C-alpha cells in the first residue's frame, strides 16, 4: 500500500470546499430568471378534490402561473412508476395504482401535492399558495398497515381490493411447518419495525429548466442516481426523450435512500418550466414538507417464530409480515419488503427450512421505500431478536447459541435464494466479545446496581446483501433495470486522470476513495485525479449509489476500465522502449521493463498516446477507456455488534454505555471513511431503536411527527463514541474483494440495542423506539 | 412568514407607546419561539416591536436579598452571571439548560415567561422562587401571573420590564428533557425560603406550570426526598402525548422532585 | 422595507430588504453566501449557525433587520486566505464531515464553543454543547474528535501566545 493507495487513511479531497462553505448544493444554484415554485398540499389524509379555484391566487403579487393535476393530465404527462414487479403467490402481478405528479380528483395522504404555484419569489409563491381554494370531500382514512385490509377500511386505489398490493411468499412452507411441528422448542415474537423518516440534512430541491431554443430540459436535483431519474422521466413520465433531458445532481447533502426515488416535484418543475415559457422553476422543500413527502422507511408488522432442537440447533424460521407501502408505490417500494428482506432471513445461521409471507398494503400515509438498509434491517431484527429470545428461553449464553448455529462452510446456499460467498462469523464474534470485555460484564452489572442502574448487554450478528445482484438475476426477480455500473477512465495528454462514474457521492467520499484506486494502479497522486459524477451530460450512464454498491460495483467498473488503460499503456511503452509487452510493469507512476533500468514516466506514455507520432502499428491514438461491470453476486458484509446499556428505572431512560461493532467488509480502501460510514449507520440504527418513529393520528391520518419538535433525531449526547473494528475475508466475486459498508451500521444495531435493554429490564416485551416512557412502562409491567 | 412591519424602539416608553398605538402587534424579545412560529405561518402579526436594543431591559443586579434580572437578559447571560451563580445557582443552572447554546445567545427570560409555554423551564423558577414580575404598568406576584398554558396575567399593552427574585435559602431544579424537542417533559423547581418550601412543576401539567401543594406540605416538616414517598399526582391533570402518557408524566414529577431535593444538599 | 447596514466577513454591506427577511435569507440570497444552510423550520438543526457579534446564533431565527449594525461571520469568512481555521482543519483531519451539509453550522458552533469555554474540551462537554446541531451522517463520533483536537490545539496556541 502506498501513502495514497488502497488501504491508506488519507483525508478527503472533497472536504476543502465543504469546510469553507463552497459546497454547491441544488438550492445554492440560481439560474438566470429563476422563478419559485410552492406546492399546495393536501391537509387531509384522504379526500376527493371537488374543485380548485385559483382566481384569487393568480391575482396575487408576483404570481406567474398556477398548475393543477387537471393541467398535468391535459398535457398527457405520465405518472410515476414503481420499477420492480412483484408477483403474488397466486401468480398475479402487483396492483399498482396511478401516481400522478400532481394529484387529480383524489388525494391520498396529508401532503399530497394538489397544485403548483409559481411566482417571482418564494415568499410570493407561498403567500399565493394560501389563496388557492380547494374544495375537498373528506373520506375515511387508514394509516395502520395492520388495519389496512380490514373489511371496513377505506379503499385507497380501486385497482387494489382490500388495499392489498401483493401477497408474496418465499421459501418452503410445508417443510418449515413440518419442522415446527416436531421442534423441541419454539420461540415466537410479535414485532413492529417502526416507521422512520430518513432525514438527510439537506432538504430535497429541484430546478427544472426548459430551453426553448434547444428544445432541451435541464433538471438539477437532489438525487442519488441522476441517470435513473433521467431514464424514468423520459421513458415513463414522458417529459422528453433522454437526449433532450440532462439531469444534474450536484453536491447532495445526504441521501440514505430517500433521494433514490423519482419524486413528483421533479416532474412538476420540468413540466412547469415549459408551461411558463422556459424560465427555470425552482422548488426547495422545507423540513415539514420533507417529513410529509420524503419517502419513509420500514413500517412492518410481523409475526415471527424460530424452531429449535433440544440442544439449541436451529431447525426452521417463519415470518408473516404486513408491509406498509403508503399511499403510492414509490420507485423501489416493492423490492424492499420482498427480495431485500425475505432473502436475509437465514441470517448468519444454518436454518434448514425458512418461509416468509409478505403482504404489502396501501395506507393513507407518505409512500414508504428503501431507507438505509432497506429490508435487511427488518430481516436482521426478526432473526436477531428471535435468537436472543431463544437463548433466554433455553437458558443458553446468547453468544454461544449463535456460535453453535453459525454457517462455517462457504459458499453456502440458504433456503431463501442467496448464496453466501465468504465470511468468518466466528472471528467477528470473538473479536467483538474481546472488545466488549464480555467476561467482565457480570461485575459491571453488579456495580451498576449499586448506583441504582439496570445494566444489560445485547448481541446482533447480522449479515446483509449489498452491491445488488447480477442484472440477469434481478431481472428474473422483477427489477425493471439492470444493476451494473459504468466507468470511463480518461487519461489526459499530461498524464492526469479523470474518472467518470455512474456512482454518486452524497457524503461517501468517492472523490477520495476512487482516486486512491487510481493511485494504487497508476501511481498518480490524488491531486492529479478528478472524479466526475452526477451529471448525465458528462457521465456515460450509471445506476447510482444505494445498497452499499459504489465500492463493490462502481469501483469494479473502474478497475475494468483501468485494466484496459493499463494494457494499452503497456503496449505503447513496450513499443517506445523496444521491449516485450509482457515485460512491462507499472510501478510508482512509471512503466518499467522488468529486470532492466529502462523506464518511462506514465505521463510520457500518455503524451505519446495523444501525439500519436510513434504508436504501434494499427493502434488508435488516445488513452481513454470505458467499462461496464455487472456484479456476479451480491456481496455479503457481516459482523457482530454488542451493545451495553444502563437503564434508569425511575425514568426509563436508556444510556448506551458501550457499543462494539466488528464488521467484515472485505477489502477496505480507506479505513477512515469506512469507520465514518459505520459510525453514521450505528447512530441511525440506535435512533431507530431508541428514539425515532413516525407517528400518525389513527383517525384523521394527520402526521404527528412533522418537525424536529416531535420527530426525535439522535443528537451528539444521545450516542456514545463507538468501538469499531474489522475482520477481513475478501469477497471472491469482484476484482478488489470488496463488500459494502454503507448500511451495515443501521442494519446490525437495532436488535443489539433492544436485546440489551430487554436484558437489563427483564421484560422482553418492548417495541421500538424504546423511548423512556415505553421502557418505564415495560419495567413496571414486568 | 407573512408580511410584517418591524419596529425597533430604543426605550421602554417608546415601546409601550408603540404597543398602545399600533394594531395587531407582537413583541419580539429574543425571537427564539416567535420567529419559528411566524416562519411556519402560525403567527402573523402586522407589527413586530423588537425589544432587543432596549438597554433598560437588560442586566442583572443583586441587592437586599433579591436578584433583579432585566426582561431582555439572555439565557446565556443568566447562565454565566457570577452574581446569579452566587445567589441562586439553581437559576443559573436552569438557564443553561434551555434550548441550546445558540438559542441561549438570543432567547430572553422576559420572552420565555411572557410566552408561558407549558414546557418552558423559566416559569417553574419564577413560580418556584415566588418572584415578582415587574411590568410597565404594575408588579405582579408569580402566584398571580401564570394563567394556564400560553396564558398570563399580562394585558395587551403591558411589557415585562424585569423580574425580582427573592434569594432562597437553597433551591434546585431537576429537568427531564423531551427527547425530541429538549423542552422540559418535566421540570421541578424546589425552593426553600424563609416562608417555607415551594415546589413548581413545568412540562407535565395540562394547564401549564403549577405548584405541587401536597409536596410543599409534606416537605414543610421533612426536607428529604423520602418525604414524597407516599405522595402521588393525579394523572388526569397531566399532559399526554406521543412522548409520554399522563401516568408517565405523573411519575416523572415525583422522580424529578426527589432529584431536585437530593440536589438541594 | 428595512434598510440595514452590517459587516459581513469583514466587509461593510448595506441593503434594503423586506421586514420579514430572515438573516439567513439575506446571506444566501442577497450576498450569495450559500455556505450557511437551512435544514429545518423549527430552529433545531443548526445548519445555519453563524457568529453575530462574536456569538453563535441561528441565522434562520433572526430577522435581517435585527442584525442591523452587527458584525457577522459566516463559514466563508472563517479561514484567513488559504490558511484554514484550526476547527476547519480539524474537521478535515478527523473526518468530521461526510455530506458537508451540516458542516458549516457545526464548525461555527465549534468555534463559538471553544471561544466561550476556552481550554481543551472533554468529550462530554462537547457532546452537550452540540445540542443545537444535528448531523445525520457521522454519528457525531468524528465531529467530537475533531472539536476535541481543535480545542486542544487552540488552547496550546493561546498558551504559546501568552
pLDDT tens per residue across span A577-612: 999 999 999 998 999 999 999 999 999 999 999 999
Residue of B nearest to C105 (CA): B102
Beta bridge partner(s), residue A354: A317
**Interface size between A and C, measured as CB pairs under 8 A:** 178
One domain for residues A362 and A244: no
Final residue of a structural domain among A629, A651, A676? A629
Task: Please report how many Cα atoms fall inside a 13 Å half-sphere around the Cα of residue A556, on the Cβ side.
Answer: 27
C101 contacts A716? CB cut-off 8 A: no
pLDDT tens per residue across span A160-188: 999 999 999 999 999 999 999 999 999 99
Contact residues on chain A for C128, CB-CB shorter than 8 A: 716-717
Angle (nearest 5°) at CA A562 between A558 and A565: 145
Residue labelled with grid coordinates 403591558: B158
CATH of the domain at A464: 3.30.365.10
CA B120 distance to own-chain centroid: 6
pLDDT tens per residue across span A700-717: 999 999 999 999 999 999
CA terminus-to-terminus distance, chain A:
55
Listed in sequence order, the residues at least 6 apart from B168 whose beta carbon sits closer than 8 Å to its beta carbon are B88, B129, B191, B192, B193
Range of the domain at A332: 300-469+633-781
> What pLDDT, on the 0 to 100 scale, is given for residue A548?
87
pLDDT tens per residue across span A61-89: 999 999 999 999 999 999 999 999 999 99
Decide if A382 is inside a domain.
Answer: yes
Contact with chain A for residue C144, Cβ under 8 A: yes
Query: Which ranges constitute the DSSP H helices of A477-601?
Result: 510-522, 556-577
Confidence of residue A770 (pLDDT cuts 50, 70, 90): very high
Q: H/E element holding A189?
A: strand A185-193
pLDDT tens per residue across span B59-97: 999 998 999 999 999 999 999 999 999 999 999 999 999
Measure the CA–CA gap between A544 and A556, rounded to whole angstroms.
14
Average pLDDT, integer, range A217-246: 96
Ordered domains of chain C (ranges, CATH): 2-77 (3.10.20.30), 86-161 (1.10.150.120)
A695 contacts B248? CB cut-off 8 A: no
pLDDT tens per residue across span A85-141: 999 999 999 999 999 999 999 999 999 999 999 999 999 999 999 999 999 999 999
> What pLDDT, on the 0 to 100 scale, is given for residue B256?
98
> What pLDDT, on the 0 to 100 scale, is given for residue A469?
82
Mean pLDDT of chain A: 96
Please give the full DSSP string across B27-82, using - where no structure is assigned.
EESS-TTHHHHHHTTS---SEEEE-TT-GGG--EEEETTEEEEETT-BHHHHHH-H
Give all strands (DSSP E) within B127-195, no chain letters: 132-135, 139-141, 160-166, 170-177, 184-193
**Three-state DSSP class for A176?**
helix
Ordered domains of chain B (ranges, CATH): 5-50 (3.30.43.10), 168-265 (3.30.390.50)
Decide if A187 is inside a domain.
Answer: no
Tell me if A95 sits within 8 A of A87, measured CB to CB.
Answer: no
The shortest CB-CB distance from C61 to any of B8, B31, B50 is to B31
C142 contacts A20? CB cut-off 8 A: no
Final residue of a structural domain among A267, A293, A319? A293
Q: Can you read off the three cell numbers belonging to residue B243?
A: 412522548
A773 contacts B244? CB cut-off 8 A: yes
Confidence of residue A1 (pLDDT cuts 50, 70, 90): low
> What pLDDT, on the 0 to 100 scale, is given for residue B195?
87
One domain for residues A242 and A121: yes
> What pLDDT, on the 0 to 100 scale, is given for residue C161?
82
Tell me if A470 sits within 8 A of A634, measured CB to CB.
Answer: no
Tell me if A146 sits within 8 A of A59, measured CB to CB.
Answer: no
One domain for residues A244 and A376: no
Measure the CA–CA gap between B71 and B51, rounded to whole angstroms.
9
Beta bridge partner(s), residue C162: none
Inter-CA distances, A425 with A135, A216, A347, A398, B1, Å = 60, 53, 11, 14, 56
B40 contacts A708? CB cut-off 8 A: no
Residue labelled with grid coordinates 466561550: C116
Per-residue pLDDT of chain C (162 residues; tens, 9 = 90+): 999 999 999 999 999 999 999 999 999 999 999 999 999 999 999 999 999 999 999 999 999 999 999 999 999 999 999 999 999 999 999 999 999 999 999 999 999 999 999 889 999 999 999 999 999 999 999 999 999 999 999 998 888 887
The shortest CB-CB distance from B36 to any of C42, C49, C129 is to C42
pLDDT tens per residue across span B123-172: 999 999 999 999 999 999 999 999 999 999 999 999 999 999 999 999 99
Q: Can you read off the three cell numbers belonging to residue A690?
A: 431508541
One domain for residues A615 and A657: no
Q: H/E element holding A655?
A: strand A654-664
Decide if A157 is inside a domain.
Answer: no
Measure the CA–CA gap between A428 and A117, rounded to whole angstroms.
55
One domain for residues A649 and A619: no
> Domains in chain A: how many in total?
3
Q: Can you read off the three cell numbers belonging to residue A213?
A: 431554443
| Chain B interface, best mutation among A195, A292, A650, by max B CB count within 10 A | A650
Query: Which ranges constitute the DSSP H helices of A184-338?
Result: 226-235, 264-275, 287-293
Decide if A615 is inside a domain.
Answer: yes
pLDDT tens per residue across span A618-664: 999 999 999 999 999 999 999 999 999 999 999 999 999 999 999 99
Candidates A758, A665, A743, A708; CA nearest to A297 is A743
Kindly report the three-state secondary structure assignment for every residue of C1-35: CEEEEEEECCEEEEEEECCCCEHHHHHHHHCCCCC
Contact residues on chain B for A708, CB-CB shorter than 8 A: 180-181
Tell me how close the Cα of A709 comes to any Cα of chain B, in angstroms: 4
Computed from CA positions of residues B253, B258, B259, B263, in that sequence, does the dihedral angle turn out positive or negative?
A: positive
One domain for residues A645 and A542: no
Measure the CA–CA gap between C130 and A658, rounded to whole angstroms.
20
Decide if A620 is inside a domain.
Answer: yes
One domain for residues A306 and A281: no
Q: Can you read off the three cell numbers belonging to residue B174?
A: 431537576
The shortest CB-CB distance from A712 to any of B1, B3, B180 is to B180
One domain for residues A569 and A642: no
Beta bridge partner(s), residue A535: A248
One domain for residues A98 and A209: yes
> What pLDDT, on the 0 to 100 scale, is given for residue A65?
98
Inter-CA distances, B34 with A114, A294, B14, B43, C24, Å = 29, 27, 21, 8, 16
One domain for residues A223 and A275: yes
Measure the CA–CA gap between B257 and B186, rounded to whole angstroms.
9
C112 contacts B2? CB cut-off 8 A: no
One domain for residues A696 and A679: yes
Task: Please report how many Cα atoms fall inside a 13 Å half-sphere around the Cα of residue A547, on the Cβ side.
Answer: 29
> What pLDDT, on the 0 to 100 scale, is given for residue A468?
83
C132 contacts B100? CB cut-off 8 A: yes
Contact with chain A for residue B232, Cβ under 8 A: no
**Three-state DSSP class for A314?**
strand
Decide if A188 is inside a domain.
Answer: no
Final residue of a structural domain among A578, A608, A629? A629
Candidates A769, A226, A759; CA nearest to A500 is A226
Tell me if A513 sits within 8 A of A551, measured CB to CB.
Answer: yes
Give the strand pairing for B196-202 and B210-211.
antiparallel
Task: Please report how many Cα atoms fall inside a 13 Å half-sphere around the Cα of residue A250, on the Cβ side.
Answer: 20
Decide if A410 is inside a domain.
Answer: yes
Q: Can you read off the three cell numbers belonging to residue A298?
A: 420500514
CB atoms within 10 A of CB A451: 9
Computed from CA positions of residues A312, A317, A322, A325, in that sequence, does the dihedral angle turn out positive or negative?
A: positive
Contact residues on chain B for A126, CB-CB shorter than 8 A: 41
Decide if A270 is inside a domain.
Answer: yes
Q: Can you read off the three cell numbers belonging to residue B133?
A: 414580575
Give the strand pairing for C71-73 and C2-8.
parallel
One domain for residues A432 and A501: no
Q: Is A7 left (phi over 0), alpha (psi -120 to 50) or beta?
A: left
Q: Is C147 left (phi over 0), alpha (psi -120 to 50) or beta?
A: alpha
Residue of A nearest to C44 (CA): A708
Percent of chain A, pLDDT > 90? 96
Measure the CA–CA gap between C147 and C123, rounded to whole angstroms.
9
Give the strand pairing for B184-193 and B170-177.
antiparallel
Amino acid at each position: 500500500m502506498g501513502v495514497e493507495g488502497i488501504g491508506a487513511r488519507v483525508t478527503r479531497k472533497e472536504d476543502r470546499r465543504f469546510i469553507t462553505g463552497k459546497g454547491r448544493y441544488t438550492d445554492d444554484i440560481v439560474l438566470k430568471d429563476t422563478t419559485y415554485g410552492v406546492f399546495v398540499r393536501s391537509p387531509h389524509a384522504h379526500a376527493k378534490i371537488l374543485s380548485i379555484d385559483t382566481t384569487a391566487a393568480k391575482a396575487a403579487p408576483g404570481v406567474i402561473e398556477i398548475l393543477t393535476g387537471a393541467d398535468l393530465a391535459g398535457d398527457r404527462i405520465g405518472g410515476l412508476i414503481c420499477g420492480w414487479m412483484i408477483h403474488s403467490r397466486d401468480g398475479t402481478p402487483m396492483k399498482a395504482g396511478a401516481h400522478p405528479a400532481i394529484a387529480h380528483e383524489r388525494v391520498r395522504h396529508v401532503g399530497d401535492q394538489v397544485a403548483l404555484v409559481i411566482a417571482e419569489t418564494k415568499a410570493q409563491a407561498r403567500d399565493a399558495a394560501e389563496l388557492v381554494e380547494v374544495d375537498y370531500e373528506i373520506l375515511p382514512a387508514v394509516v395502520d398497515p395492520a388495519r389496512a385490509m380490514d373489511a371496513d377500511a377505506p379503499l385507497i386505489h380501486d385497482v387494489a381490493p382490500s388495499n392489498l398490493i401483493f401477497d408474496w411468499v418465499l421459501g418452503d412452507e410445508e417443510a418449515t411447518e413440518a419442522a415446527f411441528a416436531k421442534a423441541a422448542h419454539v420461540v415466537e415474537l410479535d414485532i413492529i419495525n417502526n416507521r422512520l423518516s430518513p432525514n438527510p440534512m439537506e432538504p430535497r430541491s429541484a430546478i427544472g429548466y426548459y430551453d426553448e431554443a434547444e428544445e432541451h430540459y435541464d433538471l438539477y436535483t437532489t438525487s442519488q442516481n441522476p441517470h435513473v431519474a433521467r431514464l424514468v422521466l423520459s421513458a415513463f413520465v414522458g417529459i422528453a426523450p433522454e437526449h433532450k433531458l440532462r439531469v444534474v445532481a450536484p453536491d447532495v447533502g445526504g441521501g440514505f435512500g430517500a433521494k433514490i426515488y423519482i419524486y413528483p416535484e421533479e416532474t412538476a418543475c420540468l413540466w412547469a418550466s415549459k408551461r411558463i415559457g422556459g424560465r427555470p422553476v425552482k422548488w426547495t422543500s422545507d423540513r415539514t414538507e420533507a417529513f410529509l413527502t420524503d419517502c419513509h422507511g420500514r413500517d412492518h408488522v410481523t409475526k415471527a417464530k424460530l424452531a429449535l432442537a433440544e440442544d439449541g440447533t436451529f431447525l426452521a424460521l417463519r415470518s408473516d409480515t404486513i408491509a406498509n407501502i403508503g399511499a403510492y408505490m414509490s420507485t423501489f417500494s416493492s423490492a424492499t419488503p420482498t427480495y431485500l428482506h425475505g432473502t436475509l432471513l437465514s441470517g448468519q445461521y444454518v436454518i434448514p427450512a425458512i418461509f416468509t409471507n409478505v403482504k404489502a398494503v396501501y395506507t393513507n400515509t407518505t409512500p414508504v421505500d428503501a431507507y438505509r438498509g432497506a429490508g435487511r434491517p427488518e430481516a436482521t431484527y426478526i432473526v436477531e431478536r428471535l435468537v436472543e429470545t431463544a437463548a433466554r428461553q433455553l437458558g443458553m449464553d446468547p453468544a454461544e447459541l449463535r456460535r453453535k448455529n453459525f454457517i462455517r462452510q462457504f459458499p453456502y446456499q440458504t433456503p431463501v435464494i442467496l448464496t453466501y460467498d465468504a465470511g468468518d462469523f466466528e472471528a467477528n464474534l470473538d473479536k467483538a466479545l474481546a472488545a466488549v470485555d464480555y467476561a467482565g460484564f457480570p461485575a459491571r452489572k453488579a456495580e451498576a446496581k449499586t448506583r441504582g442502574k439496570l445494566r444489560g448487554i445485547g448481541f446482533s450478528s447480522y449479515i446483509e446483501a449489498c452491491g445488488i445482484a447480477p442484472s440477469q438475476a434481478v431481472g428474473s426477480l422483477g427489477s425493471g433495470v439492470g444493476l451494473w455500473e459504468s466507468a470511463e477512465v480518461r487519461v489526459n495528454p499530461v498524464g492526469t486522470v479523470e474518472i467518470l462514474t455512474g456512482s454518486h457521492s452524497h457524503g461517501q467520499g468517492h472523490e477520495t476513495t476512487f482516486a486512491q484506486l487510481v493511485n494504487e494502479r497508476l501511481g498518480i497522486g490524488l491531486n492529479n485525479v478528478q472524479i466526475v459524477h452526477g451529471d448525465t451530460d458528462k457521465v456515460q450512464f450509471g445506476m447510482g449509489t444505494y445498497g452499499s454498491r459504489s465500492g463493490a460495483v462502481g469501483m469494479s467498473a473502474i478497475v475494468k476500465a483501468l485494466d484496459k488503460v493499463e494494457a494499452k499503456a503497456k503496449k505503447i511503452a513496450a513499443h517506445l522502449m523496444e521491449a516485450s509487452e509482457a515485460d512491462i510493469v507499472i510501478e510508482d507512476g512509471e512503466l518499467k521493463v522488468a529486470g532492466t533500468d529502462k523506464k518511462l514516466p506514465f505521463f510520457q506514455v500518455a503524451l505519446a498516446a495523444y501525439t500519436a507520432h510513434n504508436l504501434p502499428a494499427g493502434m488508435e491514438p488516445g488513452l481513454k477507456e470505458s467499462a461496464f461491470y455487472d456484479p456476479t453476486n451480491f456481496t455479503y458484509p457481516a459482523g457482530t455488534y454488542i451493545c451495553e446499556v444502563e437503564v434508569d428505572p425511575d425514568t426509563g431512560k436508556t444510556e448506551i454505555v458501550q457499543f462494539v461493532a466488528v464488521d467484515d467488509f472485505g477489502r477496505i480502501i480507506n479505513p477512515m471513511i469506512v469507520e465514518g460510514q459505520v459510525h453514521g449507520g450505528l447512530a441511525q440504527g440506535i435512533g431507530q431503536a431508541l428514539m425515532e418513529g413516525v407517528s400518525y393520528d389513527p383517525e384523521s391520518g394527520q402526521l404527528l411527527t412533522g418537525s424536529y419538535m416531535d420527530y426525535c433525531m439522535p443528537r451528539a449526547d444521545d450516542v456514545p463514541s463507538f468501538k469499531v473494528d474489522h475482520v477481513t475475508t475478501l469477497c471472491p466475486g469482484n476484482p478488489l474483494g470488496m463488500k459494502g459498508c454503507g448500511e451495515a451500521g443501521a442494519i446490525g444495531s437495532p436488535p443489539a440495542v433492544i436485546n440489551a435493554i430487554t436484558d437489563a429490564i427483564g421484560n422482553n416485551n418492548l417495541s421500538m423506539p424504546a423511548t423512556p416512557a415505553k421502557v418505564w412502562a415495560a419495567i413496571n409491567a414486568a | 412568514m407573512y408580511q410584517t412591519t418591524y419596529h425597533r424602539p430604543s426605550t421602554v416608553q417608546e415601546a409601550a407607546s408603540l404597543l398602545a398605538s399600533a394594531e395587531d402587534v407582537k413583541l419580539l424579545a429574543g425571537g427564539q419561539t416567535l420567529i419559528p412560529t411566524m416562519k411556519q405561518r402560525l403567527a402573523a402579526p402586522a407589527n413586530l416591536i423588537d425589544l432587543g436594543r432596549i438597554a433598560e431591559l437588560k442586566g442583572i443586579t443583586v441587592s437586599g436579598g433579591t436578584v433583579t434580572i432585566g426582561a431582555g437578559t439572555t439565557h446565556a447571560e443568566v447562565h454565566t452571571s457570577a452574581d446569579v451563580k452566587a445567589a441562586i445557582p439553581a437559576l443559573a443552572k436552569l438557564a443553561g439548560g434551555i434550548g441550546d447554546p445558540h438559542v441561549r445567545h438570543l432567547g430572553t427570560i422576559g420572552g420565555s415567561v411572557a410566552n408561558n409555554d407549558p414546557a418552558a423551564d423559566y416559569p417553574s423558577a419564577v413560580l418556584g422562587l415566588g418572584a415578582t414580575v415587574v411590568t410597565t404598568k404594575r408588579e405582579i406576584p408569580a402566584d398571580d401571573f401564570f394563567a394556564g398554558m400560553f396564558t398570563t396575567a399580562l394585558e395587551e399593552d403591558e411589557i415585562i420590564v424585569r423580574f425580582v427574585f427573592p434569594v432562597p435559602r437553597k433551591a434546585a431544579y431537576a429537568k427531564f428533557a423531551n427527547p425530541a424537542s429538549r423542552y422540559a417533559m418535566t421540570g421541578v423547581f424546589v425552593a426553600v425560603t424563609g416562608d417555607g418550601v415551594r415546589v413548581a412543576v413545568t412540562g407535565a401539567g395540562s394547564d401549564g406550570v403549577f405548584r405541587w401543594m401536597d409536596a410543599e406540605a409534606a416537605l414543610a416538616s421533612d426536607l428529604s426526598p423520602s418525604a414524597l414517598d407516599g405522595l402521588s399526582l393525579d394523572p388526569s391533570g397531566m399532559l399526554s402525548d406521543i412522548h409520554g402518557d399522563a401516568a408517565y408524566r405523573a411519575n416523572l414529577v415525583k422522580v424529578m422532585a426527589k432529584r431536585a431535593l437530593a440536589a438541594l444538599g | 422595507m428595512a434598510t440595514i447596514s452590517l459587516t459581513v466577513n469583514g466587509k461593510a454591506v448595506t441593503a434594503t430588504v423586506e421586514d420579514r427577511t430572515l438573516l439567513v435569507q439575506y446571506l444566501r440570497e442577497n450576498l450569495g453566501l450559500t455556505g450557511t444552510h437551512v435544514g429545518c423550520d423549527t430552529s433545531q438543526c443548526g445548519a445555519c449557525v453563524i457568529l453575530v457579534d462574536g456569538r453563535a446564533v441561528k441565522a434562520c431565527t433572526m430577522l435581517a433587520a435585527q442584525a442591523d449594525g452587527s458584525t457577522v461571520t459566516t463559514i466563508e469568512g472563517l479561514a484567513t486566505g488559504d490558511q484554514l481555521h484550526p476547527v476547519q482543519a480539524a474537521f478535515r483531519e478527523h473526518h468530521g464531515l461526510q455530506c458537508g451539509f451540516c458542516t458549516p453550522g457545526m464548525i461555527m458552533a465549534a468555534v463559538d464553543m471553544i471561544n466561550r469555554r476556552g481550554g481543551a474540551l472533554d468529550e462530554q462537554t462537547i457532546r452537550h454543547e452540540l445540542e443545537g446541531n444535528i448531523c445525520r451522517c457521522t454519528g457525531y463520533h468524528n465531529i467530537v474528535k475533531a472539536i476535541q483536537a481543535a480545542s486542544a490545539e487552540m488552547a496550546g496556541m493561546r498558551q504559546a501566545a501568552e
